[in-house]
Structures are given as C-alpha cells and as structure tokens.
C-alpha cells in the first residue's frame, strides 16, 4: 500500500456518530473529515445510507461523500444496509461500499430485518449494479461479516458459518469480506484462527480488514493479533466517539489515536501524523462539547523522545 | 506450572495501593488478599518494605506477609528497595523478594537514591543473605528491571544497557530478572525484541515475567506479545487500583480482570475464577469507596455463553 504498512480506516463519522443523538452539523463533519485527511488518514467511512427516519445523524451522508471526494488521495467509504442504500452510494460517488452480513441471523433480522439468504440476494443485486458500471467508476464493494466473533443475542457463533458466509458473499459478487467484532467478544487466538480459516476458504487477498471493538479492553490486543498474521486494514474511531468503551452495549470502537500509536511505535507506517491527529481530535472535542471523547495516548501524551530514535 | 499456563501475579496491594493516600486498614487488606487467593490468584505482591515515613500505606507489610502465608498455596511476594528492606522481608517470611534496578540511572537515583553500581552491591548483599539461609527457607529473589522500555526522565533507554544490567543482576546473585514498563512506553515489537535479547544473555529460565502499565492503552497488547513468545508471568492490579489508567504519570497497571479475560478467552489457564475475582473486586470497591476502580470486562460483563463451549 503506497508507502504504508497498515491502513487505519477511520469509522468515527459513521460508527461513532451514529450512536450520538446530538446532530453534528454537516459543515463540522466536513471540517473534521478534512482534518483527519490532513493528518494522513487515507480511508474514512463518512456515513451510512440508511433512511433518515432510522438514523437522523446519517441524513447528510451524500453531502459528506461529495465533500470527501474533493480531498485528493482519500478513499471515501460508506455503509449501506441494502440495494437501495447502495444505489444512493453509487449516485453520490463513494469509492467503497460496505454492507453488513451478520453471522448471527437473529442479529441480522434485528439489524436489517433480513435473513442470510435475503442479504445474499441484496449482495448479488449490488454486485450486479457495481459490475454494470464502467470500470473506472466501480466502487470497491465489501461485505462486513458482523458478529463474526459472537453475538449478544445468540452467544457464540459457529466459525464454520463465518467461513460459509464469507465464501457465499464472495460467490455473490463481493470483492472482499471483512471480519467485525460487533460485540467486543473477540480474543486474539480467535482472531488469528478465524482469519486463517476465512483465508483458506476465499483466498488471502479477499480478506484484508478487521473491525474490532474495545468493549472488554481487548481491542488493541486483537488488532495486534490480526496485524501479526498479515491483516493490513484495521478500523478505528477517533476518540472512541459514540460510545463509552466501558459501557455494555456501547459502540466502543478501537480508539484511532491509540491504534496509530501502537502501529507507529512498532515501527510500522500508518502514514498518519500524530500531531495532525490531535488537531482533528481537538476540533471534534470542540464540535461535540457534550460528547465524551476517549483515548489513552492523547491523555498521557507520546513517550518522551518518541520518534526521535 | 501446576495446572496453569499463565501466572497472573497480583500487584494491587503493593503497586496499586502505594499511590493511594487513604490508608486501607490492615484487616481490609487481609480480607482482600484472602478473596484474591480464594478466586485462584496464586501470587500476590502484598506490600513493600520501605520506611513508613516514605510510604505510610506500606507500613503494615510485615503483618500482611504473616497473614498471606497462612493461605495454602499462595506465593507471598514483596518489594524491597535495599538490603534493609530485604532483611525485613526475610524476617517476615516472604516467599519472593523483588528489588527494582532501574535501567534509567536518573530514575534510580530519584527512586532509591542509588546508582547502578550501588544497586548491584545491594543485590549482591541480599543474594548473600538469601543463600546463607537453609534451602527450605530461601525466598525466590528477583530483580525487576524498571524503566526497561523507556523513562519519563531520560526518554528512550538503551536495549544493550537493559541486557547488561540483566546479566549483572544474575551475576550478582539474583535468581531471576523481570522486565518492567514503569512508564507505559512499551510496544509489542519492543517487548518481543527485548525479552529475546535478555534470554540470549542470561538464559530463558532467568526471565519469566513482565510488569506492564496501561498508560497508553497498550498494556494487553504488550502482554499478548510477551505471552506469544513464551513469557509465563504477567503482573496486574485489580481494578487498575491506584492510578487512573488515563492520567499521565499515574500507576495505570494492567487491570487484572481484563488480563484474566484475555488469557482465559484464548483458552489458556490462569487458575482464576472470574466470579471469585468479581467478589474480590466488590470487596475492594466497598473498602475504598473514594477510590476509582477501573476495568473494561467487569463493566461490560463476560460475553454471553462464555466458558460454556
């Protein structure tokens, strides 16, 4: 990947903000996205094409895509729950479209009101629309296997089912799958095992990314486990925005700042400048004064002499 | 190790409490230690033999050793800053004595007012006292290489110096050395590299443990890195007591509960029962109502169906 080892994919504007009731103005979101990109963040999930009645915070996703597309070198990603959302994403010009396929069918029915088969139908339909576009206009189409490490409703999920759904998603036309620890249930041994199983089934190039939550404090250990075996994309949310990482049920994404420190401290390159990241963080704090912003590394500061060796 | 894979060594009564000004009554400390042991904790650092004028919280260490020794199977550890402290530890009957040898000499002078050479003299003297005892009465004598991953005063420390001091400590008569990330500067790549370098110098059996802080949120990732390559003892503090893990300069030990979850979730055995751990945690919360108690896993709860597979 162009001069970097690990792609830190910022999902704060989507996974972070979606659980905040206070609406962040579109202009502020645009500025935050610009500051993130200025710090060197190369991929940002800017929003989700869901009905505004369901998630009012995501109502301006099309505008955010248009803004983010003006930033050179930035991969503009969005989440979509179905074909209709994907059509909106295509119309707006997103570079990357992700759709969740929940391994827990109970969760899938609650989250998107569709069974596995119905979701695979949506995936096939979206893949059809994408492939009908001229090659230069085709977005990268990814399926995020949510609850891949366990479900708050079903408990443990079958690893064989994760593998089968990964293969089915690729078969249905997705360019790639990702593994999501939606519930913060994952452990490092499971991360390594499951990534390898999915690689065996669909090929290593079809699974590059993980989406981890820090609900039980295991987020960075799980990220390390994933990167150790060769995962190159890790999602994170600036300031863990949108959910106290301590609270059950909260979003609790990995904190971008702590992940960037982890990666850079190990001598791997994210392409992200920590000072720039702190400027984006400061902006976010000011824009959302009532929202708690987390992060160990920003609170403690970088180690003395960090990066000077 | 008797039916366990990873020894989680509880340092809360020492490293946790030493930075709390409110004195925890001796009887409450004894009960907490008993509850920890009842949960399956096999090694507890119960206190530190420092002058009470320096750390009033540690004034009852001898009493705690006497109490903890009555608990079958429990390894009773203490910290000592010098020979005099070691003599008190021997008199009280501690099973394990640790002395800090700070890789940063600046830190050593601030912390124990001694240079490296002076500390090595203390280590030699303590080793002499220990070896003069009948074999059955000899405590395990360990040197903790503090600031081994960097120092808030000196910045980065030389890895060669860590290796040289480890070798010098073994040469001076320590049975074992440990690596301590006193400042929360460590990263997983550094942990692996430094452990291997020290192993090469002193032999694998002379370095089994790491003491990590979570100051920058990297504690469990560093613990994972250490365990991956074969470290079998990891220090932790219940509830991260004694320091907000977010605050610079704070103790910020790894939280025992989160470490136990990490290890057990991976299918490795700590011998520790999570419910028992929560009972000890509840007791601690009640005994220190004004002190904040941390931990992701206790807040979120264990995953649904955890341990039933």
Using CA atoms, how far residue A81 sits from A115, A147, A184, B214, in Å, is: 13, 15, 21, 37
pLDDT at B247 over 60: no
Residues of chain A contacting B223 with CB distance shorter than 8 Å:
221
Note the pLDDT of residue B251.
59
Rounded to the nearest integer, the mean pLDDT of chain B is 94
Give tens-digit pLDDT for B187-244: 999 999 999 999 999 999 999 999 999 999 999 999 999 999 999 999 999 999 876 5
Which residue stretches of chain B are H helix? Answer: 26-38, 61-69, 83-92, 105-112, 116-132, 159-171, 188-202, 219-229, 256-265, 274-287, 296-300
Q: How far is Cα B299 from Cα B286, in angstroms, rounded to an integer?
A: 16
| Residue A243 pLDDT grade (very low, low, confident, very high; cuts 50, 70, 90) | low
Q: How far is Cα B262 from Cα B37, in angstroms, rounded to an integer?
A: 19
Active site residue B30: no
Place of tokens 């799980």: A222
Check if the beta carbon of residue A212 is closer than 8 Å to that of residue A249. Answer: no
Q: How far is Cα A246 from Cα B243, in angstroms, rounded to an integer?
A: 17
Note the pLDDT of residue B209.
98
Give tens-digit pLDDT for A126-185: 999 999 999 999 999 999 999 999 999 999 999 999 999 999 999 999 999 999 999 999
- pLDDT mean over B157-171: 98
Domain locations in chain A as residue ranges: 7-300
Lowest mean pLDDT among A80-84, A109-113, B141-145, B236-240: A109-113
Q: How far is Cα B234 from Cα B211, in angstroms, rounded to an integer?
A: 6
Name the residue facing A187 among B245, B265, B300 (closest C-beta): B265
pLDDT at A309 over 70: no
ipTM greater than 0.90: yes
Give tens-digit pLDDT for B7-21: 999 999 999 999 888
Give tens-digit pLDDT for B252-275: 899 999 999 999 999 999 999 999
Name the residue facing B220 among A220, A265, A267 (closest C-beta): A220
Q: Do A305 and B150 touch (CB under 8 A)?
A: yes
Q: Do B214 and A187 touch (CB under 8 A)?
A: no
Q: Do B156 and A309 touch (CB under 8 A)?
A: yes
Residues of chain B contacting A308 with CB distance shorter than 8 Å:
155-156
pLDDT at B27 over 80: yes
Q: Do A262 and B187 touch (CB under 8 A)?
A: yes
Note the pLDDT of residue B252.
86
Name the DSSP class of A237. Answer: B
List own/partner pairs for B104-110 with CB under 8 A and 24 or more apart: B104/B147, B104/B151, B104/B153, B104/B154, B104/B157, B106/B151, B106/B153, B106/B154, B107/B146, B107/B147, B107/B151, B107/B152, B107/B153, B107/B154, B107/B182, B110/B153
Note the pLDDT of residue B245.
44
Q: How far is Cα A66 from Cα A57, in angstroms, rounded to an integer?
A: 17
H or E stretch covering B158: none
CATH architecture label of B7-300 = Alpha-Beta Barrel (3.20)
Task: Give the chain B residue nearest A261 (alpha carbons).
Answer: B216
Residues of chain A contacting B6 with CB distance shorter than 8 Å:
none
* Largest Cα span, chain A: 54
Note the pLDDT of residue A22.
87
Note the pLDDT of residue A244.
52
Residues of chain A contacting B189 with CB distance shorter than 8 Å:
265-267
Q: Do B258 and A218 touch (CB under 8 A)?
A: yes
Q: How far is Cα A267 from Cα A5, in angstroms, rounded to an integer?
A: 10
% of chain A at pLDDT higher than 90: 88
Task: For residue A161, give both structure tokens.
Answer: 């089912």
| Residue A43 pLDDT grade (very low, low, confident, very high; cuts 50, 70, 90) | very high
Rg (CA), chain B: 18
Q: How far is Cα B201 from Cα B194, in angstroms, rounded to an integer?
A: 11
Name the DSSP class of B14. Answer: I
Note the pLDDT of residue B309.
56
Task: For residue B155, give both structure tokens.
Answer: 């910045």
Nearest CA distance, B80 vs chain A (angstrom): 28
Name the residue facing A296 among B150, B214, B224 (closest C-beta): B214
Check if the beta carbon of residue A215 is closer than 8 Å to that of residue A222. Answer: no
Residues of chain B contacting A214 with CB distance shorter than 8 Å:
296
Nearest CA distance, B33 vs chain A (angstrom): 25
Check if the beta carbon of residue B202 is closer than 8 Å to that of residue B164. Answer: no
Give tens-digit pLDDT for A52-62: 998 999 999 99
Give tens-digit pLDDT for A95-139: 999 999 999 999 999 888 999 999 999 999 999 999 999 999 999
Task: Give the chain B residue nearest A181 (alpha carbons).
Answer: B303
Q: Do A300 and B246 touch (CB under 8 A)?
A: yes
Q: Do B305 and A150 touch (CB under 8 A)?
A: yes
Best mutation target, B188, B215, B217, to test chain A (most A CBs within 10 A): B217
């Amino acid at each position: 990947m162009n001069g970097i080892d690990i792609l830190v994919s910022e999902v704060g504007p989507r996974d972070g903000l979606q659980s905040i009731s206070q609406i962040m103005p579109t202009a502020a979101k645009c500025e935050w996205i610009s500051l993130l990109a200025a710090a060197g963040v190369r991929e940002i999930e800017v929003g989700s094409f869901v009905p505004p009645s369901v998630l009012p915070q995501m109502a301006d996703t099309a505008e955010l895509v248009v803004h983010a597309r003006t930033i050179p070198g930035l991969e503009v990603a969005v989440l979509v729950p179905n074909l209709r959302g994907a059509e909106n994403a295509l119309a707006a010009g997103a570079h990357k479209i992700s759709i969740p396929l929940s391994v827990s069918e109970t969760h899938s029915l609650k989250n998107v009101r569709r069974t596995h088969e119905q979701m695979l139908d949506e995936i096939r339909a979206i893949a059809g629309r994408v492939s009908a576009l001229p090659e230069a206009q085709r977005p990268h189409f990814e399926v995020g296997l949510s609850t891949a490490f366990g479900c708050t409703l079903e408990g443990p999920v079958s690893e064989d089912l994760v593998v089968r759904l990964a293969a089915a998603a690729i078969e249905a036309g997705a360019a790639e799958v990702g593994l999501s620890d939606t519930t913060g249930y994952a452990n490092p041994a499971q991360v390594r095992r499951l990534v390898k199983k999915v690689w065996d089934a669909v090929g290593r190039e079809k699974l590059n990314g993980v989406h981890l939550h820090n609900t039980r404090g295991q987020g960075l250990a799980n990220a390390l486990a994933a990167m150790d075996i060769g995962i190159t994309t890790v999602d994170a949310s600036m300031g863990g925005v949108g959910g106290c990482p301590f609270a059950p049920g909260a979003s609790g994404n990995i904190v971008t700042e702590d992940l960037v420190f982890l990666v850079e401290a190990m001598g791997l390159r994210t392409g992200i400048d920590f000072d720039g990241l702190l400027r984006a963080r400061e902006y976010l704090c000011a824009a959302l004064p009532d929202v708690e912003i987390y992060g160990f590394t920003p609170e403690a500061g970088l180690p003395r002499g960090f990066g000077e060796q």
